[in-house]
Amino acid sequence: MNTNYTVTVLGLGAMGLPMATRLASQLTVHGFDIAGPRLKLATAAGIATFDSARDAARGTDALLLAVRNGEQLNDVLFGENGVAPVLARGSVVILTSTVGTEAIPATVERLAEYGVELVDAPLSGGPVRAGQGDLLIVVGATPSARSQAAPVLELLASTLSIVGEKPGDGQALKTVNQLLCGIHIAAAAEALALADALGLDQAKTLGALEAGAAGSFMLSNRGPRILEAYTEGGAEVLSRLDIFVKDMGIVGKAARAAGLAAPVAAAAEQLFLLGQAQGLAASDDSAVIKVVAPTRRQTRPQ
């Protein structure tokens, strides 16, 4: 264990808590969340919890952030109660979220005023893999920032891909990643909806598709949850549908800025937007099947 290295995790939700718990197995971890029950869970996992984000972040070696968007990133760091002023010089902020490239340059510039570097490290993998240290993390950061963040990144990632030496490179690659993920989720939902419409057993169809050329990680990962979309309460929420509304919006904006047509991504984005409009924003993203097939067929043609 390296108890001389301290990392602060702000936000102890579905991803933050398992990441903090994983880190606490080897490092000293400080945590903060606005929800009391999450703080209790963190304390039970060996994480030192605090009454404010500033108290949790004061003087630590690294600050790990999972925020929703660029506006929230700016508020956490530089808002009225922002933590940037209490960060130690020479420390790093490790940004694990998908916020797009636009917010990065200003964040880097403002952190530099405090002697702090940004490690652009969006990740993929979900809560279970976060707790196992089995995440994919793509990193854009200077060599010095990567070195400072190494104890955190190496504990969380089974696949650590250095994609560039400047913050923003990680966001760019994650944008490409999310284009594929969003399309694959939408396509899996459409395929299983079509199977039902054609009178096929969806579970058997899923098994057959996984074994052939049409198989993919997203089909295998989301497929069983897609089949739970019509059950009472739906599938367990592991990735909210409105996260892909945000992420596919980032994809579309990036493609337009680059002068690149992305019609398939745009079509997938519309499905997630329709799901959000139909009240599915807080549902698991697998619920997107209900946009194209609001109900499962109860009887099948012979």
**CATH number of the structural domain spanning residue 249:** 1.10.1040.10
Distance CA 245, CA 234 (A): 19
Angstrom CA distances, 72 to 10, 77, 98, 286, stand at 12, 9, 12, 26
Distance CA 294, CA 229 (A): 10
* Domain assignment present for 69: yes
* Domain assignment present for 22: yes
Instruction: Report the number of distinct structural domains present in the chain.
Output: 2
| Same-domain pairing of 34 and 109 | yes
What pLDDT digit, counting tens, does each position of 242-293 carry?
999 999 999 999 999 999 999 999 999 999 999 999 999 999 999 999 999 9
User: Reduced to 3 states, what is the DSSP secondary structure of residue 12?
Assistant: coil
Angle, helices 143-156 vs 16-24, to 10°: value is: 90
pLDDT at 2: 75
Chosen domain end from 130, 149, 166: 166
| Same-domain pairing of 161 and 181 | no
Write out the residue range of the structural domain in which residue 276 sits. 172-292
| Same-domain pairing of 93 and 212 | no
User: Reduced to 3 states, what is the DSSP secondary structure of residue 49?
Assistant: strand
Rounded-to-10 torsion of CA 77, 79, 82, 84: 50
Contact 62, 8 (CB under 8 A): yes
With a pLDDT cut of 90, the percent of the chain lying above it is: 92
pLDDT at 298: 58
Say whether pLDDT at 301 is over 70: no
| Same-domain pairing of 161 and 37 | yes
Q: What is the mean pLDDT of residues 154-173?
A: 96
| Same-domain pairing of 160 and 230 | no
**Average pLDDT of the chain, as a whole number:** 95
Characterize the bridge pairing of strands 117-120 and 92-95: parallel
Q: What is the mean pLDDT of residues 86-103?
A: 96
Chosen domain end from 102, 134, 166: 166
Weakest-pLDDT range from 27-31, 68-72, 157-161, 294-298: 294-298
* Domain assignment present for 297: no
User: Reduced to 3 states, what is the DSSP secondary structure of residue 4?
Assistant: strand
| Same-domain pairing of 8 and 125 | yes
* Domain assignment present for 301: no
Active site residue 204: no
Say whether pLDDT at 58 is over 70: yes
Q: What is the mean pLDDT of residues 66-90?
A: 95
Helices vs strands, H then E, count in the chain: 13, 9
| Same-domain pairing of 94 and 196 | no
9: left (phi over 0), alpha (psi -120 to 50) or beta: beta
With a pLDDT cut of 70, the percent of the chain lying above it is: 98
Q: Output the pTM of the full model.
A: 0.90
Chosen domain end from 104, 138, 166: 166
φ, ψ for residue 114 (rounded to 5)? -105, 5
Distance CA 277, CA 290 (A): 12
| Same-domain pairing of 89 and 221 | no
| Same-domain pairing of 155 and 255 | no
What is the DSSP track for 60-95? -SEEEE--SSHHHHHHHHHSTT-SGGGSPTT-EEEE
pLDDT at 302: 44
Exactly one of 40, 174, 204, 253 is catalytic; name it.
174
* Domain assignment present for 302: no
Q: At which residue do the structure tokens 């002068």 appear? A: 259
pLDDT at 203: 96
| Same-domain pairing of 6 and 155 | yes
Q: Is the dihedral of CA 22, 28, 30, 35 positive or negative?
A: positive
Token reading at 182: 């969003």
Say whether pLDDT at 3 is over 80: no
